[in-house]
Structure 1
Amino acid sequence: MIGFPEWIGRGVFALAMAVCMAGATHAAPRDPLDVQALQAEVAKESAQPKARQLPRTAFLASSELVGAWLSPDGRRVAWLREEGRNRALWVAPMQGGKPVRLLPNTDATSLAWSRDARWVFLESPRQVFALAMAGQGGSRAIAKLGGRWPRELLGADPALPAAVLLLESPPIVSRLPKRWRIWRIDAQGRETLVREDAKQLVDVAVDARGRLAFFTRVENAHYAVYRMRGNTPVRAMRCVDLERCGLLAASADGREATLLTDVGANHRRLARLNADDTLTTLHADPRGEADLQDVAFDARTQQPMVAGYRSTVAANYGLTPDAQRHVARIEARWPDRNLRIEVGTTQWLVHERATTMKGERLHAYDPATGAFRDVLVDVGTRWRGKPAPALDPAALSRKIPFAYRATDGMTIHGYVLVPHGVDPARAPIVAHVHGGPFSRFGPEFSSVSQMLANRGYVVFEPNFRGSTGFGRAYMRAGKGDFGNGRVQQDIVDGVRFLAAQGIGDANKAGIVGASFGGYSTLIGLTFQPDLFRVGVAAVPPADFGWVLRWYSQSVDQMATGIPMSTSMRLLDLDPADPAVLERLRAQSPIGNAEKMTRPLLLLAGADDERVPIRSVLHYAAALQVRNKDVTLLVDPDARHSVSDPRTREAYLYLIERLLHRRLGGAAPEAPSAGLKATLGKDLLLRGSDFRD
């Protein structure tokens, strides 16, 4: 619902076989509740040589690599890369050879290869551009995006050699009857209507001949999947009460569909919708913990090959005997990495990520020989449009996944980062709370967490109940208790659990976060001051109920086509229920401002579309008149997502300084003249730690 960036943060295929749930390429994972295993991992990490203090701007820099995509035949890979003020399109042969920069300047944010690999479709905010890749000529813009009749790219047509599928929505304000349309547009710009409907369309799947086989639409605030019987649509399944039913593809004859769904189960899985409208599970997490994240398909046989899960640990599973062998080789080549695999006819592309690496590296894998080749590993980072210092992985801390029992007995997931060369039992501990609240921390790089660990703090990233990726029951387990209640207690329980294992000093604990994480910070300082001695809250709702009611009327949606107010009601946060709002108001930080006794740093955006600036200013004023120790930084141009690099650096500097003074971590490097100017302009309230 209320999210914030981390920096604070398709193909037709025929299933000729039922993929069993066996075939895991991983050894049996350790019990996440194994305390001895957790302590051993922490000891290993803390025994590393003490890391040098890295520049804070290095944590803010972004990877030059925007994204990379393998051609269906596996012969080439295309990527988008930032180069100064421009973004360039590069292509390289997978079997070796020099990369070629095809476009030195493009506004594309994503791309899709045509099924015949002769075209690349570049997607930008304003258009889809077909770029000829086989010397045939004819490159052109083939579709406008946005505009009065908004259009969005669904992806390359999985049936025809060179076409895309687009979803067109009616204008928000119009006297005409609302109509949603799916268009097929070929590389010459010719348009063909695939489906028109008076109800909101979400997705479609076509058979091997390009005929519409299935579509999903919104009906009474839930999803319904329809199959085509001749020219007549017949409802095949419903997805209600937060169930998900994402169409992946149709079989060659159009009688079956493959979905990512949690209908009839707790976790999202790979399933087949049979001709008789029953569901068959094709693959689900063997560990029984995570939702399915992605599936790779063989472009030649059109079978699913690899299933990937990334909710706690990154795990890939081969879905055929051959794929099991290939995935085992790949995982052995890059152990303990977050790998995503694309399958081409001749070559596979491995995307390598890690919790200690910003961005990703690209590698080629030849399934015929088992050979590996680096495609792009020297991926730089940029800060304010210029090359930035690289982050030394040796100076960064691994995210260690673990689980613990909350005081009510529920198993809660999280990560801990431990500073190198520091006794973890004596190190201050900081809870870094994610936004959302229906979001999660995953096995990826976290800028704020890594900076804090580099400064000597044990960092706890809780995936409290209500977090996504662990099944529908886990997401709903919060039961709307997002004030000073069960969700907040999960965070408190996690900090105390770690400290009881000698991982962080509970007498030197802080809490930081953005959006909902900022709200959690305010709750922590207000109601748990015996634990949290200092807090940093970015764009925080000081009255969650008030912001919930205001934001639920916005055009934003958690699920396409379903009003935000409906999603909130299904998650036990009904903004129209006076009892819900009254409970949240009674437990709100603004309603209990007199109880706030710890130093607090606030960051706000003056143009915030999710948490109105007036609510943050009201809260800061309420603290100030009560002589509370509050510091307030306001970016006059920022929305809920703060993008100005000057504000982002100022925020990290203030975090460093406040936590250093209150918890004893490393002192920040002195601010530059430019940073001082930003602080002088935007620091509206100065608490006791910033009056100089």
Structure 2
Amino acid sequence: MSKFRDACAALALLVLMSVAADVPAAGPDPTLHSAAAAQRALAPAARLPRAAFLEDRALTAVRLSPGGDQVAWLREQGQARSLMVLPTAGGAARILVGRTQARQLSWSRDGRWLFLRAPRSLAMVPVHSAGGMRTPLGGVEQRQVMKVDPSQPAAVLLRERVVAGDAERWRIVRMDAQGKRSVLREDAHWVHDVALDAAGRIVALARFDGDHDALYRVQPDGRLRAVLRLQPLERVNLLAAMDDGSLLLDGNPGGNFRRVLRLEADDTLRTLHEDPRHEADLDEVVLDPATQQPVAASYRSTVATTHGIGAAAPVLAAIARQLPGRDIGVQAAGASSTWLVSARAATLRDPQWYLYDARRGGLRRILDAPAAAGKAPPESQLSRKVAVSYRASDGMQVHGFVLLPPGVDPARAPLVAQVHGGPISHFRPGFDGVAQFLANRGYVVFQSNFRGSTGHGRAYTFAPQGDYGNGRVQQDVVDGVRWLLAQGIGDPQRVGIVGHSFGGYSTLLGLTFQPELFKVGVAGAPPADLGWAMRWLVMSGEQGDLPDRSLRQTLRALSLDATEPATQARLHAQSPSANAVRMRRPLLVMAGAVDRTVAIREVTHYVATLKAQATPVTLLVDPEGGHSPIDPIPREAYLFAMETMLQRHLGGPVPEPAGQRLRAYLRQNLRVAGPEFAALAQPAPSP
């Protein structure tokens, strides 16, 4: 038997070598092979129901009060949430608000109020008494919450649109917990962010100046003094104004990576912390609420790491020793010794929450009751996500992640390339419901953070030089798949590609131009012509009526501004739409009828073209859906349809049968039913 296995392995190696012939020679990746061996040695994961991957996190927006005496959070309850508060010294949690549409919460500086942000309203809720107030957001004023006012006991800063004839101006307003409003500034330009001194005066602001972003200091008389003119994809966030006249920032001006910065009183820019590995942008910086000094910085584009800054370094090191292998997040509490700690992982839908006593060094688990955990999939049944990097065929190092199903020989498993949207976005090391769903069905999942992705520095984002069609960006995905196959990960005869938005576009590219590699594709909300889609987005779509119109400048810098005829022509020539005649692989397309990011008419026109030439294609349209499915049944339909398509062409377990409501939804909304869905598209039999 051992000789037979050895012969099979040798034959498999020859196949892999032939498939990977276009990839630069590379030796075995020790980290990947070690992870594969560890996962293969585990018991196979139990097949979990689709519902396990549809549930949202049970607890969201968990926040420690500035004094460290209470933790507040939002507990999911169907389509709404309840506001909960727990004393850190011990005792039971209590419900502060029984039902709210809020998705974000913040503490006031004095810890006596909670600010709840819903899509269309802001509620100010007292912690120790009844009452409170609510103010609308959006509307003709396009009112938005900017941040909690750090200079006041209990207030927020709002940004509002003021229309005067054909002109518009932008007003920065302070509103306290009793509803009192004070106008702090009015500006002809869209203001991204502001910093206030201890007296509550705006001393710095960042705004969009019509063709670029810029940072200004605000003089006592209100006049502006330019400090930084920012280049495309350079960003700054104003974290705090210090007593010595310096500004605490995070961003990437004057450098490649996003990092923690201090702008000194003489306007010298100094780096306080950046990724020690020199491969990831700053993801999060934590301030001490009492001193406004940075205490921790997290980087999550490759291997997730959190580092203490200054005197907080030993505190973070002590926490990390007690939570090995976890992605740690912290919230400090001013003069208190209490810290709130989150522990995340790719195998945890919900973070684990702890209180850490910085004086005694102990961790205490909180918020872990079964009711709080909900229906989270068991961690033991989920797949480890491994950070990888590989050399593309032009020699550039590209980053990404691989999910390896437990108890499965990865050399014999079907391989699915999952491509992220954007493209100005990136995969992270944390929990991903779609990827874990696929891995639970036995698929190896490959997530490429191809060049052009964010999270790896500004130079990495600009590296494509506009080649987003059947060119360099797509080749990074293809090279990554072939590199994995050469590493013995994935069955080369069973490779698929899936993605949403730009990921859907990449799926169409893969099936059109690399059909020898990709056998099937699933595309969510895919633009079939990126040039046309980008032009529509900035002229008529969601970005067309946003007050911050910097997207056009960003696209121009990335050579993606399709309002320029030459760019539009170049992208069109490389598009799946212009090359539809080459598309022959089976394809599932899913879209929302009221999507304002990718026009539904572009999607339906492309599908009609494929259908006319007899390409096997299925189209599922959510009649009330936007860019991504939100409601439970459309979300389940997304997973069910994806699983059905992949199983038919790549193998794997037969999908869990669709319930009555899901079948009815599919019958009603399958606009085009390929052979994989013919039975579901038929009317229900008469009783």
TM-score (normalised: structure 1): 0.90
Mapped partners of 1:541, 1:196: distance in 2? 39
Mapped partners of 1:229, 1:622: distance in 2? 60
The residue aligned with 1:407 is 393
User: What secondary structure, in the 3-state scheme, does the structure 1 residue paired with 2:279 have?
Assistant: coil
The residue aligned with 1:551 is 537
Q: Output one character per residue of 1:99-137: Cα deviation in whole Å (capped at 9) or x when no partner.
A: 1111112232222211111222222334333222244x6
> What displacement does 1:402 show?
0.6
The residue aligned with 1:170 is 162
Amino acid at match of 2:63: W
Contact 1:495 1:506 in 2 (8 A): no
> What displacement does 1:400 show?
0.4
Contact 2:137 2:143 in 1 (8 A): yes
Mapped partners of 2:212, 2:453: distance in 1? 21
1:261 pairs with 251, 254, 258, which one?
Answer: 251
Mapped partners of 1:220, 1:439: distance in 2? 24
Q: 1:356 and 2:347 equivalent?
A: yes
TM-score (normalised: structure 2): 0.91
Q: 1:219 and 2:209 equivalent?
A: yes
Amino acid at match of 1:498: L
Amino acid at match of 1:624: K
Contact 1:33 1:404 in 2 (8 A): no
The residue aligned with 1:426 is 412
Relative to structure 1, is the Cα distance of residues 130 and 448 closer, same or farther in structure 2, using a 3 angstrom cutoff?
closer
Mapped partners of 2:545, 2:322: distance in 1? 38
Q: 1:336 and 2:325 equivalent?
A: yes
User: What secondary structure, in the 3-state scheme, does the structure 1 residue paired with 2:306 have?
Assistant: strand
Mapped partners of 1:66, 1:507: distance in 2? 41
Q: 1:161 and 2:153 equivalent?
A: yes
The residue aligned with 2:307 is 317
The residue aligned with 1:611 is 598
Q: 1:591 and 2:578 equivalent?
A: yes
Unmatched 5+ stretches in structure 2: 1-25, 680-687
Mapped partners of 1:634, 1:146: distance in 2? 28
More helix by proportion, 1 or 2?
2
> What displacement does 1:560 show?
7.3
> What displacement does 1:92 show?
0.5
User: What secondary structure, in the 3-state scheme, does the structure 1 residue paired with 2:606 have?
Assistant: helix
The residue aligned with 1:46 is 40
Task: Tell me the number of residue pairs that the alignment of Structure 1 and Structure 2 aligns.
Answer: 650
The residue aligned with 1:531 is 517
Q: Provide the identity percentage.
A: 48
Amino acid at match of 1:572: S
The residue aligned with 1:520 is 506
The residue aligned with 2:491 is 505
> What displacement does 1:577 show?
2.3
> What displacement does 1:142 show?
5.8
User: What secondary structure, in the 3-state scheme, does the structure 1 residue paired with 2:183 have?
Assistant: strand
1:571 pairs with 558, 562, 586, which one?
Answer: 558
The residue aligned with 2:138 is 146
Relative to structure 1, is the Cα distance of residues 520 and 88 closer, same or farther in structure 2, using a 3 angstrom cutoff?
same
1:96-111 to 2 correspondence within 5 Å? 96-111=90-105
User: What secondary structure, in the 3-state scheme, does the structure 1 residue paired with 2:410 have?
Assistant: coil
1:635-646 to 2 correspondence within 5 Å? 635-646=622-633
Amino acid at match of 2:576: P
1:95-494 to 2 correspondence within 5 Å? 95-135=89-129, 139-141=131-133, 143-171=135-163, 175=165, 177-231=167-221, 232-253=223-244, 255-321=245-311, 323-345=312-334, 346=336, 347-378=338-369, 389-494=375-480
Q: 1:81 and 2:68 equivalent?
A: no
Mapped partners of 1:214, 1:666: distance in 2? 58
Relative to structure 1, is the Cα distance of residues 125 and 512 closer, same or farther in structure 2, using a 3 angstrom cutoff?
closer
Mapped partners of 2:452, 2:343: distance in 1? 29
Amino acid at match of 1:683: L
Mapped partners of 1:210, 1:596: distance in 2? 61
User: What secondary structure, in the 3-state scheme, does the structure 1 residue paired with 2:350 have?
Assistant: strand
Relative to structure 1, is the Cα distance of residues 638 and 243 closer, same or farther in structure 2, using a 3 angstrom cutoff?
same
Contact 1:119 1:131 in 2 (8 A): yes
Mapped partners of 1:596, 1:121: distance in 2? 51
RCO comparison, higher one (Cα < 8 Å, 6+): 1
Mapped partners of 1:476, 1:287: distance in 2? 20
> What displacement does 1:677 show?
1.5
Contact 2:542 2:596 in 1 (8 A): no
Deviates more, 1:346-355 or 1:408-417: 346-355
The residue aligned with 1:26 is none
Contact 1:33 1:403 in 2 (8 A): no
Amino acid at match of 1:687: G
The residue aligned with 1:3 is none
Contact 1:558 1:564 in 2 (8 A): no
Unmatched 5+ stretches in structure 1: 1-31
> What displacement does 1:467 show?
0.6
Relative to structure 1, is the Cα distance of residues 57 and 424 closer, same or farther in structure 2, using a 3 angstrom cutoff?
same
Q: CA RMSD in A?
A: 2.0
